[in-house]
Amino acid sequence: MAEKTKIGIIICDRYRRCAGGKCLRALRNREGAFSIYADEEVELVGYTTCDGCPGGNIEYAGEEMVKNGATVIHLATGLVVGYPPCPYIATFKAFLENRYGVKVVVGTHPIPKKYLDMHTALGTWEDASWAPLLEPTLADPETRAAYD
């Protein structure tokens, strides 16, 4: 049997009470950023928050997840869709990749329609630098509506 890919998820602390419903559903359905595992077995080996701005838990959560076998860490979609989005996404990604040698994927579940609509109205994501951050979770209109 092929070995499972072990992943960790770090969410934005503003959503700290989130029970993970959308992320776990997307993981199960291989939707959003989890579509990269369409043909793979995946095991979630860690789930926690950044512990609030400026993300003091990124260091410790990353270490624990990697010790538990994670080879990929997902920064949850909430970091991208929050009002405002997390200003430290690039720092977190660079730190985790350089410090622990893991792959970091920005995003988990598909971006819900209501967030895309609001950020489009606000012009949040107009800068071209957002395109690669949105790409894993943009999904199609039907899927976005299903995650509202």
Q: Rule CB under 6 A: say whether 79 interacts with ligand SF4.
A: yes
| Residue whose C-alpha is closest to residue 108's, from 29, 17, 55, 45 | 29
Choices 19-27, 52-60, 111-119, 135-143 (CB under 6 A): range interacting with ligand SF4: 52-60
Q: Rule CB under 6 A: say whether 59 interacts with ligand SF4.
A: no
Report the alpha-carbon distance of residue 26 to residue 48 in Å, rounded: 17
8: left (phi over 0), alpha (psi -120 to 50) or beta: beta
Among 12, 26, 106, 111, binds ligand SF4 (CB under 6 A): 12
Scanning the structure block, which residue is given the tokens 């538990």?
A: 68
Q: Based on CB atoms, which residue is closest to ligand SF4, 90 or 141?
A: 90
Identify whether the C-beta of residue 13 lies closer than 8 Å to the C-beta of residue 51. yes
Among 52, 63, 90, 141, binds ligand SF4 (CB under 6 A): 52
Choices 11-19, 28-36, 97-105, 138-146 (CB under 6 A): range interacting with ligand SF4: 11-19
* DSSP bridge pairs for 6: 43
* # residues near ligand SF4 by CB under 6 A: 11
What does the block give as tokens for 85? Answer: 């989005």
The least distance separating ligand SF4 from the CB of residue 22, rounded to whole angstroms, comes to 16
The least distance separating ligand SF4 from the CB of residue 73, rounded to whole angstroms, comes to 13
Segment holding 118, helix H or strand E: helix 113-122
Contacts with ligand SF4 by CB under 6 A lie at 12-14, 50, 52-55, 79, 86, 88
